[in-house]
Amino acid sequence: MEQISNDYTENVRWFDDVLGVNRSCDIVSRDLRIGGRRGRIWVIDGFGGDAVLERMGAFWLSLPPQAVADITEMQQFVDGCVTFMEADVSFDRDDIVTSVLLGKSLLLIEGVSGAAMMDAKNYPGRGVEEPADGRVLRGAHEGFVEALVPNLALLRRRIRDPHLTMEPHRAGGRSKTDIVLCYLNDRADPKLLEQIRQKLEGIDLHALSMGQESLAEAIRPKQWYNPFPKARYTERPDTAAACVMEGSIILMVDNSAAVMILPTSFFDFTQEANDFYFPPLVGTYLRVLRVTVFLISLLITPAWYLMVSSPGRLPSWLDFLSSPEPAALSLLSQLLVVEFLIDVLKLASLNTPDTLSNSFSMLGALILGDFAVQAGWLGPEVLVYMAFVSVAGFAQPSYELGYAFKLLRVALLLLTAAFDVWGFCLGFVGILVLLATTKPLVGHGYLYPLIPFNGKALRRLLVREPINRDNT
């Protein structure tokens, strides 16, 4: 830790050089006369609160020499002449430089030891709007933004409890990205908190370029072959607040509009915030429907291929399933080609302007599907089953889980094609083993509360219970 010098001229030269006053056009510095003494302020253009700095600067320029004649410590100046609430004093050069790059304003005064740091930053950002991936049926139409302070305020507004703790952290050797742990200190598990703190302290990266996803990859167990998501994300403050009230821990990353919910198990993905805006019976039905449809989407194409690949395997009342129309491609090739085309359409819609994306997706699907059937490449039955699979993938809110099930569905289909019934059974058992051996970021296990079993917790996940004192 290198301390700032007592020589004002040397300090000014050092900070000008390190901050790049003459190299970067967004590093703004200005000399002031404060009570007859030389002073200098540094701030990043676009981060500094112009109105606050202007009022404080006008006040400093009006100070008579006798007002600062006896001041030798910066803390004295801050206590008597800085009206802004968020101001502190530092002597560490590296800490001061990091604070300036985070948006704080730096003030040095001749003959005064120490540096004043004023947190008058005002990050550019968008307004609090409804998140695109979490549409609200009923309730608050607010969503998290890319700045930490507004996100913290959105949680504070919903949980006015002194036990709500916002614990600051920082990661990234170059980016110095701010991370905040949000939890209720009387409900969160202390062991889980300690595990998360140790993981955050052990991050060895230059930057968290992709926000919470970079953070998740830095702290998740190294299972490259496992596609299941290890954390749940949300852009809705009401969802995050409800999870905090239940004892979960929220990880917020600066520059990211989504927050990470920990701990996360597989059954947590069966829940959605909209379930709680319906009566308990309707909410339970939606959860059961979501789980059922999603499991069917995993098994439907491999099971159908298994049934129709060998004649006479189906009972008579299911004979209508055993006669797909002949096509130029084999049945296995048809299913794989449509899986590929669905992903192509998704990628194309993501890169299409918003005004055209919906029209493009529908038009592309209709043209490609109709042409492929008329040309004899694909059978209509294949399109029907794959259309159901595509729609069912959006029955739950996690895109990551949807793609995990897609990869597993393709793997199960290939095993079924290779080894028939034994391949289907082996693949299904393999998926169960993969689920059971998935290591979560923190917590009991990925299949908790099924393994280890907790009946009460499992019921609360699968059944929408009426609200009570302990159930949020």
List of E strands, 35-96: 37-44, 87-90
- Does residue 205 contact residue 173 with C-beta atoms inside 8 Å? yes
Q: Is the pLDDT of residue 391 over 60?
A: yes
- Angle formed at CA 432 by CA 275 and CA 261, multiple of 5 degrees: 40
Shared domain check, 110 and 222: no
Q: DSSP code of 449?
A: T
Q: Are 383 and 338 in contact (CB under 8 A)?
A: yes
**Which of residues 97, 118, 139 is at a domain's end?**
118
Instruction: Give the whole-number percent of the chain exceeding pLDDT 90.
Output: 21
Q: Is residue 362 part of a domain?
A: yes
Residues 419 and 296 in one domain: yes
If one counts the domains in the chain, the total is: 3
At a CB cut-off of 8 Å and minimum separation 6, what does 68 contact? Answer: 34, 35, 36, 37, 77, 81, 109
In a domain, 448, yes or no: no
**pLDDT value at residue 216:** 82
Question: 361 in a domain, yes or no?
Answer: yes
**Local confidence band at 371 (pLDDT 50, 70, 90 cut-offs):** low
Domain identity same for 215 and 289: no
Quick one: 427 and 296 in the same domain?
A: yes
Residues 260, 289, single domain; the answer is no
Residue 60 is assigned to a structural domain of this protein: yes
Q: Which of 29-43, 351-365, 453-467 has the lowest mean pLDDT?
A: 351-365
Same domain, 113 and 166: no
> Are 211 and 312 in a shared domain?
no
pLDDT of residue 132: 65
Which residue has tokens 């897609």?
406
Domain identity same for 287 and 403: yes
- Residue 451 located in a structural domain: no
Q: Is the pLDDT of residue 130 over 80?
A: no
Structural domain containing residue 94: 8-118
Same domain membership, residue 234 and residue 169: yes
Ranges 31-40, 121-130, 202-211, 222-231, most confident: 31-40
Say if residue 297 is in the same domain as residue 246. Answer: no
Predicted confidence band of residue 138 (pLDDT cuts 50, 70, 90): low
Query: Is 10 or 218 the better-scoring residue by pLDDT?
Result: 10
| One domain, residues 305 and 401 | yes
Query: Domain for residue 315, yes or no?
Result: yes
Do 241 and 280 have their domain in common? no
